[in-house]
Homo-oligomer: A and B are copies of this chain.
Amino acid sequence: MAVRGPGFASDNYAPMCPEALEALVRANEGPAPAYGADAWTARAEAAIAAWFEAECRVFFVGTGTAGNALALATLARPYERVLCHEAAHAIHDECGAPGLVGGGVRLTPLPGAHGRIDRETLAGALAGRADVHHGRAAALTLTQPTELGTVYTPEALAGLCALAHGHGLRVHVDGARLFNAVAALGCAPRALGPDAGVDVLTLGGTKGGLGLGEALVFFDLELAEGFAWRHKQAGQLFSKMRFLSAPWTGLLEGDAWRRHAAHANACARRLAEAVAGVEGVRLAHPVEANAVFLELPAAVAAGLEARGWRFHALPAWGGARFLCAWDTEEAAVDLLAADIAELAAG
């Protein structure tokens, strides 16, 4: 029976998926070389390369904050700027991590409807002053799916990458929920990575069903030169690395990643459809992955909280955010939608 609870607050409220846990338990056998020289880590790296159908260098990190900050510190020198969407996680939610790891690297926010940067906006930013009184831009970081639950199509992504590259910038993708984007678009993973021209990508594991950890994937192998030392310096080289890496094999060697992501996406659509006709409730952004942003009357929001639901109030970004995860129950979605309808009806 579905119960009201905190599950919609974030997709990182979910436990490990069974496939990740199983791989973790299997990796717990006998001694193994430390610091990533073990067989599980090699296998997980190979699984990621196979998933992207690309040659790449993979480094496992503990958190998305670490992965993003290390990527940006690699792409930009301390005195350079990184362009991002004004809703980007990296500029708001990471306490200045890129600036710490990157020695002062700054993020420059760009506007864009529904969380997406468009070509014209990027072109305008690239045409601006870049002298020593302004700092020059060295990289573009994009979130896929965006912070507002929309996705960049392979074509849109490739267009932005080409424009950035043409101005000498590198491109990083924060793919905390990349599995959701791939599942939603029905494309090959490589279409959202190397084929689009992405140089470095943070592949989110936690929100996809792992317990801990993300993977930093370099498609431009030269950028990875020296990164092993940076990884260590930043406190991200885990001694028993196999316990960070092995769960990836559970996700990627079969279709668990897609199944879980597709399920979360379907739950989000189900929620969006269920509240579509509710008076006073409106979708703030198209639902293209596993997030639903709803403009809710204050009384409805308060009523949901009172009934035990948890979600993020994000007035600056259009409304309340509900996230679905691999473990979201359809019955819980229906119960939530019914509560919204009931509260909206007054």
Most buried by B among A5, A93, A233, A234: A233
Most chain B Cβ neighbours within 10 Å, of A12, A33, A103: A103
**Given A6-B33, A31-B327, A211-B243: A65 and B230 within 8 A (CB)?**
no
Q: Which residue of B lies closest to A64 (CB)?
A: B239
Interface size bucket, A side?
35 or more
Q: Which of A72-80, A141-149, A188-196 contacts B (4 or more CB under 8 A)?
A: A72-80
Are B93 and A133 in contact, with the CB atoms below 8 A? yes
Rounded to whole angstroms, the CA-CA distance of A144 and B79 in the bound complex is: 26
The interface stretch among A14-22, A45-53, A159-167, A258-266 is A14-22
- Determine if A112 is an interface residue (Cβ-Cβ < 8 Å): no
Whether A79 and B230, one on each chain, are in contact in the complex, defined by CB atoms closer than 8 angstroms, is: yes
Summarize A's interface: helix, strand, loop or mixed.
loop
Enumerate chain B residues within 8 angstroms of A231, measured Cβ to Cβ: 132
Whether A97 sits at the interface, judged by CB under 8 Å, is yes
Min CB gap A223→B, angstroms: 12
Q: A33-B6, A132-B228, A133-B93 are in contact. Are A237 and B63 (CB under 8 A)?
A: yes
Q: In whole angstroms, how far apart are the Cα atoms of A236 and B67 in the complex?
A: 11
Interface pair A15/B32, CB less than 8 Å apart: yes
A121 at the interface (CB under 8 A from B): no
Given contacts A79-B96, A226-B79, A237-B63, contact A25 B28 (CB under 8 A): no
Instruction: Say whether A43 faces chain B, with CB atoms less than 8 Å apart.
Output: no
Inter-subunit contact A92/B134 (CB<8 Å): yes
Whether B132 pairs with A35 at a CB distance below 8 angstroms is yes
Q: List chain B residues, Cβ under 8 A from A100.
A: 78-79, 100-101, 103-104, 233-234
A297 smallest CB distance to B (angstroms): 22
A29 within 8 A of B: yes
* CB <8 Å contact, B238 and A62: yes
Copy count, this protein chain: 4
Which of A24, A229, A243 counts the most B-chain CB atoms under 10 A from its CB? A229
Q: Mark A81-93, 1 if CB is under 8 A from B, else 0.
A: 1000000000011
Q: Does A30 contact B (CB under 8 A)?
A: yes
A119 beta carbon closer than 8 Å to chain B:
no
Chain B nearest CB from A66 CB (Å) reads 3
Residue with the highest number of chain B CB atoms closer than 10 Å, among A66, A78, A212, A244: A78
Contact present for B7 and A31 (CB under 8 Å):
yes
Complex contacts, A21 vs chain B, CB 8 Å: 25, 28
A220 close to B (CB within 8 Å): no
Residue A61 at the B interface, CB < 8 A? yes
Which 7 residue pairs across A and B have the least CB separation, nearest first?
A: A66-B235, A99-B104, A100-B104, A95-B233, A211-B243, A12-B239, A96-B104
Instruction: A65-B233, A97-B235 given; name 13 further pairs at CB < 8 Å.
Output: A12-B34, A13-B31, A14-B240, A15-B27, A15-B28, A21-B28, A30-B327, A31-B327, A65-B235, A73-B78, A94-B235, A96-B233, A106-B106
Can you offer 26 A-B residue contacts whose CB atoms are under 8 A? A15-B28, A15-B29, A15-B31, A15-B240, A21-B25, A21-B28, A62-B235, A63-B235, A67-B235, A73-B78, A77-B230, A78-B233, A79-B100, A79-B230, A93-B134, A95-B229, A96-B105, A99-B105, A106-B106, A132-B232, A136-B229, A207-B239, A212-B212, A212-B240, A235-B235, A235-B236
